[in-house]
Structure 1
Amino acid sequence: MLSPSVKKDIRSSYENLKSQLQNFIPRKAQNYLVAEIAKTLAGEYSPKRRILVAEAGTGIGKSMAYLMGSISFAVNNNKKVVVSTATVALQEQLIEKDLPLFRRVVPKEFSFVLAKGRQRYCCSQKLAGAADAEGAGQQVLFAEKPKKADIDLINDLYDAYNRGKWDGDRDSWPKTIPDAIWQSIVSDKHTCHSGLSAHRQCPFAKAREHLDKADVIVANHSLLMADLELGGGVILPEPEQALYMIDEAHHLPIVARDFSAASASLVGAASWLEKLNQSASKLANAGDIKRSNRFLDALQSGVQTLIPGLRGVRDMLQAYPLNNDGVYRFPDGELPELLFNEAKTLHTAAKKANQSQAKLHDLVAERLKDGEISTRIADPILAESAFFLQRLENLEKVWALMAQPNSDKGAPLARWIQRCPERESDLIVHVSPLEIGWRLDQLLWSRAAGVCLLSATLRALNSFSYFCRQVGLEENDGTQFLALPSPFNYQENARLVIPAMPCEPQDPKFTQILPEVLLEYLEGEKASLVLFSSYWQMNQIAESIRATAKKNGWHLHIQGESSRTRLLDAHRKCCEKGQPSILFGTGSFSEGLDLPGDQLTNLVITKIPFGVPTSPVEEAHAEYIERRGGNPFLQIAVPEASKKLIQSVGRLLRKEQDSGRVVLLDRRIITKRYGKSLLDSLPPFHRVIEYT
């Protein structure tokens, strides 16, 4: 139950918020969301299943609602709040605006911090090694001899770090640090950790101290999954002590799936394994050869099995017919018996090599910690060892998944090979789960102190069922569900126009007729956004209407011709001057694009955003559903299109006073059987359906 102190703190913060904001508009939906979050976290609905799935439409004030509902409860119950987002823009909004505002209005003090993964920080010891004038560190840390410009940059970084002018965070350096440079100095879990005294003041270690002390941690979905895959509590708080506010939650299934996938090359892996074989003795000697000899033997034995084994698999797979994208996917994820047996052998060898390398690495680290070996000698050896350890861990994961038999229960793994873009003679092996819900349940739902999954688009076709299947939740397992519509007056402020088109998008003539139709719906408009289904079609249409646009004094801004930021800035400037401005974009412009007021009054969607299952994972998922007697179009494509279409039309009204129209040039929304469910899931616009 919610304690009186929590209720009092929430009420006080709400009253203080009203007095802090001049144009504050009380919203029943926001108040209701705050209450439902707090009650769910307190276990009022289910003490064992403190999970809420909430779709909150634009304008409700979602982020302030979950801060208000979770932080007061956390502070009063000795828990941490982890806010996870999908985009940098929302992280910045939370850190720079929402959390500072909420800290001013809440009765009890709390601290907050932005969490970043280890890979965003340099290792101070690696940096010192890379800046070594004698070049000893440079020989190990750089794959090739560094150029003068690279050395100058390293020296600038080293100097700034030592003078306290740079904190070791890649994002805080004023200019872009090239990947090749960054990879030579980046922090890694094998060499840069608090167990080694020289690393206790490394940038990541300092950042971890702030994380451990903070009451609220803002992270992204990738960091969240990285922490959970490591067991939880490694970077972020222990799941059992954390209340997770997962915003932009519709992105979570894809991020989670990608984190459980793995890939590795065959010839490329054999090449670096040869280098490992050559350097293993150096590592064993640094770890005391008497103690390390048996681990060295095991490592070299594993490597000597892997090198010919990987090349043999490459030779075996070269007979498989690759498609135009250089890909061959194994139907139903089933490997031929010979390849499956090879996968088991490679997994055993990779596991053996990985474990042995880890033991040798630990022996050197132990000797360094005990003062038996100097930092100057140990650091380059450990840095090189860490490089191989990370690769061995990935190699073991790939072949463990390749050697995993398909289960009768649940979806199989998707397995495919792909021609290596860097080396024509090489192949990359890929493995990915199709469904990730069971893993999320194992890592998060069954462990967390509380979870709220939030987004403006969680439902598909007015139902949470599709999202539940994606993330492994049940609609009757004690999880709470809440759908709160936007407070905007769609009927009065916006129209949805479906023109009488000569043909539908699947007709080859559709692209030919688009320029003429578009010009009709751009005429007389000051601020337009046109969303296309493909770059190809967008560029075709742009070329067709460019001359007419110039003649009419329209400013045309095409995605890809400049950075997103520059395009939007140019569009906004045109709008401020009252000059007609048109943005052309593809699917990525249908989400996270905020153009309030006069910056967007005319939104044209050329086509219902159906995804075509082109990636091997999507193809495998469709195949799996068909094999079970299902319909992948109705079970995947239509729900996904519903979510994307809702996101697309959501670009129009961003504030309560906004107005305009949406023009959908795809008649299938009224001619096809599935169209009605797509149409009914959209906001309640005033509809104008034209007929010939």
Structure 2
Amino acid sequence: MSLVDMVAEVFAAGGVLERAEAHFQPREGQTQMACAVARTIEAGGALVVEAGTGVGKTFSYLVPALLSGERVLLSTATKALQDQLFARDLPWLVETLGMPVRMALLKGRSSYLCLYRMELARQDAQAQDRGVARVLAKVEDWSHHTQSGDLAELTGLDDRSPVIPLVTSTRENCLGSQCPQFRPCHVHRARREALAADIVVINHHLFFADVAVRESGMAELLPTVRVVVFDEAHQINETGVQFLGTQLSTGQVTDFSRDLLAAGLQHARGLADWVGLSRRVELSAQDLRLVARTVTGATKLRWADDAPEGFPAEHWHGALRGVALACAQAQEALDTVSEIAPDFVRLYERGSELLARLARFSGPSDPEVVRWVDVGTQLRLVESPLDIADAMRTRLLGAPAEASEGAGGDGWPDDSSAGPGRAWIFTSATLGDDERLSWFTERAGLQEAQILRVASPFDYPAQAALYVPRHLPSPADPAHSPALAQWVGQAAERLGGRTLVLTTTLKALRAVGDALQKRFVSSGALEVLVQGEWPKRRLMERFREGADHGQPGCVLVASATFWEGFDVPGDALQLVVIDKLPFPPPGDPLVEARTQRIEKAGGKAFKAYALPEAAVALKQGAGRLIRRESDRGILVVGDTRLVTMGYGKRLLAALPPMRRLESEEAFEEALQALLTRPSTTDPTCP
């Protein structure tokens, strides 16, 4: 029996899944996707699948992957989905299908406790702070019991905690096999388990970091695979360009100075002026940051000429030379003590890498990349490709499959030379707004891939409505955010919370969040949650609780990461408000470079780039509203351009087919219908 036939049987009425799960219902779209994945695994090649919310795409790729008997790499965009796949979905399917499969979860270094760094953390200056010392003690106690060393196990640890960088390693400071804690190292153990597993769950950041590492000749990280699945694939382009370019930050330089001082005083006190050397490196980083002292707030500055926009070239290059000189002086001292401890060897390598990057950024940039400076609490120098298309075609998809000492021509270990080529599966709920999914395929070099679009099984006209308030000011008017906040406050108060406001800028986030908090601070009728005030996980948990246990209902005002990956099924979320059409920011250097490339080629950047970007982002934001068949809700877009401008038709077409509310009265009726509808959490409600 072919793999396609086996997969079809599993999903069929009366099949394994329906017998194992009482709530499972065969869905044509889910089976269609699963069979397409099976065919690609059998034949090799690339498959791109856009599967609408509710299709059940996770099982659609997991079932054929497991039944194929191949070694499989599953990559996701978030650690949350990684954990869900590894802890819930895969174990259930493995048991249900009766497959003897070894599974492994592999995350980046920053997710694992580094035992050696934890020992050093006790002497760190930050550890003298009571709060830091208390959390560090908690980490040390947990370290005696954990098997995986995954910090996600440590409940209550804020992902923004200053303790995390103290007790985790980076590629720059890891000592590798020379580390005194190498044998019990959690990162090393996780890699060993991955190399021995049949199914390995990773994330996109780790995948592209490994691609970049292999290019520099470092040891292989990921195991031999023939099948690679990217879930949440819409993020791979933006993730990939981060790792396929070059970056240098003042934070990296400061970390180097701190580790230089710690290692010098611990292993070679008196053999060099470690305090003076460290201080010079740290001051040089501060001097580089001070070149941007006139820039306020986090800003991306163009860097098309000799120096970034607004920076005096003489001061800029002088500061770069200052960092290089301080690092070179540290290198000289490290060279004299390199045989004393492996810390010094690694520090010397880090210094060499810093000097190489400084030299790169001191010279002209390649015409095929874009360069900019990111100004925030630290200064970050970035050189990036415009997309990952070339890297995907030449390093991954188009690489020869001939084996050489167990490795493929692309640097990946390859066991596929005797059979079909590697199978690549890319899937997401949002990959574009045209039949060829060109928003995704062109940037990822996948124009030749097979394309499949599977519609959501939800009854959107019955479950959801779309409303555009016509009375709101123009999005360019400073009065827009205050007016939107006032309108949202009225609607959310009637609904008892259950409202998510998604903003396109941090400025709007603060304006809307502040206005809503002031509105409800005295009455306490609703609790207004604003992104950035609490850790993301805590915000999500509180919002999902809603008005349970005597708490007030919630309004969550968020931006950036909450536009996707935030799943709130049920009545806890019934109103999603998007403040403006999410066009890409015109001042972003990467956006500008992509726009210029299109126009130089004779295209129209708004139609070819800005509009598809907005359509995909709008679709992602709208996707927060309906997460299951019993959900009901209203999507509000506070931007009249959606219904007054010609391009609004394309944006509307990208949205799910919700019914349209054409007046404030119609909106009020729809809101009232939500209030009178029985709760989906009521056990008597079907």
Both proteins in one fold, TM over 0.5: yes
Q: Which has the larger radius of gyration?
A: 1
CA–CA distance in 2 between the matches of 1:591 and 1:100? 25
CA–CA distance in 1 between the matches of 2:572 and 2:451? 34
Specify the code of the residue in structure 2 equivalent to 1:437.
A
Specify the code of the residue in structure 1 equivalent to 2:385.
P
- Residue from 75, 78, 82 that aligns with 2:73: 82
Q: Which residue of 2 aligns with 1:262?
A: 247
1:246 correspondence with 2:230 = yes
- Residue from 481, 484, 488 that aligns with 2:458: 488
Cα contact 2:121–2:127 (8 A) shared by 1: no
Specify the code of the residue in structure 1 equivalent to 2:38.
A
- Residue from 672, 677, 681 that aligns with 2:645: 672
Specify the code of the residue in structure 2 equivalent to 1:6.
L
Specify the code of the residue in structure 2 equivalent to 1:261.
T
1:321-350 Cα distance to aligned partner (Å, 9 max, x none)? 965558684553566999999999999999
Of Structure 1 and Structure 2, the greater helix share is in 1
Q: Which residue of 2 aligns with 1:55?
A: 50
- Residue from 558, 563, 571 that aligns with 1:586: 558
1:214 correspondence with 2:184 = no
CA–CA distance in 2 between the matches of 1:148 and 1:570? 28
CA–CA distance in 2 between the matches of 1:274 and 1:596? 46
1:228 correspondence with 2:208 = no
Q: Which residue of 1 aligns with 2:343?
A: 383
Q: 1:268 to 1:405 in 2, by over 3 A?
A: closer
Q: Secondary structure at the match of 1:230?
A: helix
1:528 correspondence with 2:469 = no
Q: CA deviation at 1:105?
A: 2.1
Q: Secondary structure at the match of 1:413?
A: strand
Cα contact 2:230–2:425 (8 A) shared by 1: yes
Q: 1:127 to 1:604 in 2, by over 3 A?
A: closer
Q: 1:339 to 1:210 in 2, by over 3 A?
A: same
Q: CA deviation at 1:67?
A: 0.6
Specify the code of the residue in structure 2 equivalent to 1:403.
G
Q: Which residue of 1 aligns with 2:388?
A: 436
The equivalences for 1:201-600 within 5 A come to 201-231=184-214, 234=219, 236-238=221-223, 241-259=225-243, 260-265=245-250, 272=257, 323-325=295-297, 329=301, 332=304, 364=339, 378=340, 381-400=341-360, 403=363, 405-407=365-367, 410=368, 412-416=369-373, 418=375, 421=377, 429-446=381-398, 447=410, 449-460=422-433, 464-471=437-444, 473-475=445-447, 477=448, 479-501=449-471, 503-515=473-485, 517-518=487-488, 521-522=491-492, 524-526=494-496, 527-533=498-504, 534-543=508-517, 545-546=519-520, 550=523, 554-560=525-531, 561-576=533-548, 581-587=553-559, 588-600=561-573
Q: Secondary structure at the match of 2:495?
A: coil
Q: CA deviation at 1:191?
A: 5.9
Q: Secondary structure at the match of 1:231?
A: helix
Q: 1:632 to 1:102 in 2, by over 3 A?
A: same
1:578-601 Cα distance to aligned partner (Å, 9 max, x none)? 998342323343322222222223
Specify the code of the residue in structure 1 equivalent to 2:29.
A
Q: 1:663 to 1:167 in 2, by over 3 A?
A: closer
CA–CA distance in 2 between the matches of 1:338 and 1:392? 24
Q: Which residue of 2 aligns with 1:200?
A: 183
Q: 1:502 to 1:145 in 2, by over 3 A?
A: closer
Cα contact 2:250–2:288 (8 A) shared by 1: no
1:106-159 Cα distance to aligned partner (Å, 9 max, x none)? 24311112102234444545656777xxxxxx5xxx478967997898788667
1:174-205 Cα distance to aligned partner (Å, 9 max, x none)? 56499766656645667643477973343332
- Residue from 87, 90, 96 that aligns with 1:105: 96
Q: Secondary structure at the match of 1:229?
A: helix
Q: CA RMSD in A?
A: 4.8
Cα contact 1:414–1:620 (8 A) shared by 2: no
CA–CA distance in 1 between the matches of 2:80 and 2:361? 35
Cα contact 1:128–1:158 (8 A) shared by 2: no
Q: 1:465 to 1:349 in 2, by over 3 A?
A: farther
Cα contact 2:484–2:512 (8 A) shared by 1: no
Q: So what's the TM-score if we normalise by structure 1? A: 0.75
CA–CA distance in 2 between the matches of 1:572 and 1:667? 30
CA–CA distance in 2 between the matches of 1:35 and 1:659? 31
CA–CA distance in 2 between the matches of 1:269 and 1:229? 23
Q: CA deviation at 1:470?
A: 2.5
Structure 1 window deviating more from structure 2 (604-613 vs 566-575): it is 566-575
Cα contact 1:354–1:393 (8 A) shared by 2: no
1:641 correspondence with 2:614 = yes
1:362-415 Cα distance to aligned partner (Å, 9 max, x none)? x84xxxxxxxxxxxxx5xx212432342343244235335536534xx4x3213
Q: 1:341 to 1:540 in 2, by over 3 A?
A: closer
Cα contact 1:646–1:682 (8 A) shared by 2: yes
Cα contact 1:354–1:396 (8 A) shared by 2: no
Structure 1 window deviating more from structure 2 (322-331 vs 600-609): it is 322-331
1:35 correspondence with 2:26 = no
Q: Which residue of 2 aligns with 1:300?
A: none
Cα contact 2:482–2:511 (8 A) shared by 1: no
Q: Secondary structure at the match of 1:483?
A: strand
Cα contact 2:335–2:348 (8 A) shared by 1: no
Q: 1:98 to 1:235 in 2, by over 3 A?
A: farther
Q: CA deviation at 1:103?
A: 0.4
CA–CA distance in 1 between the matches of 2:347 and 2:460? 56
Q: 1:440 to 1:514 in 2, by over 3 A?
A: same
CA–CA distance in 2 between the matches of 1:641 and 1:175? 36
Q: 1:564 to 1:406 in 2, by over 3 A?
A: closer
Structure 2, unmatched stretches of 5+, are 272-276, 399-409, 413-421, 666-686
Q: Which residue of 2 aligns with 1:91?
A: 82
Q: So what's the TM-score if we normalise by structure 2? A: 0.75
Q: CA deviation at 1:655?
A: 0.7
CA–CA distance in 2 between the matches of 1:150 and 1:558? 26
CA–CA distance in 2 between the matches of 1:195 and 1:567? 41
Cα contact 2:77–2:204 (8 A) shared by 1: yes
Cα contact 1:350–1:392 (8 A) shared by 2: no
Specify the code of the residue in structure 2 equivalent to 1:200.
R
Cα contact 2:51–2:428 (8 A) shared by 1: yes
Q: Which residue of 1 aligns with 2:105?
A: 114
CA–CA distance in 2 between the matches of 1:153 and 1:491? 50
Identical columns (%): 26
Q: Which residue of 2 aligns with 1:10?
A: 7
Cα contact 1:333–1:413 (8 A) shared by 2: no
Q: Which residue of 2 aligns with 1:294?
A: none
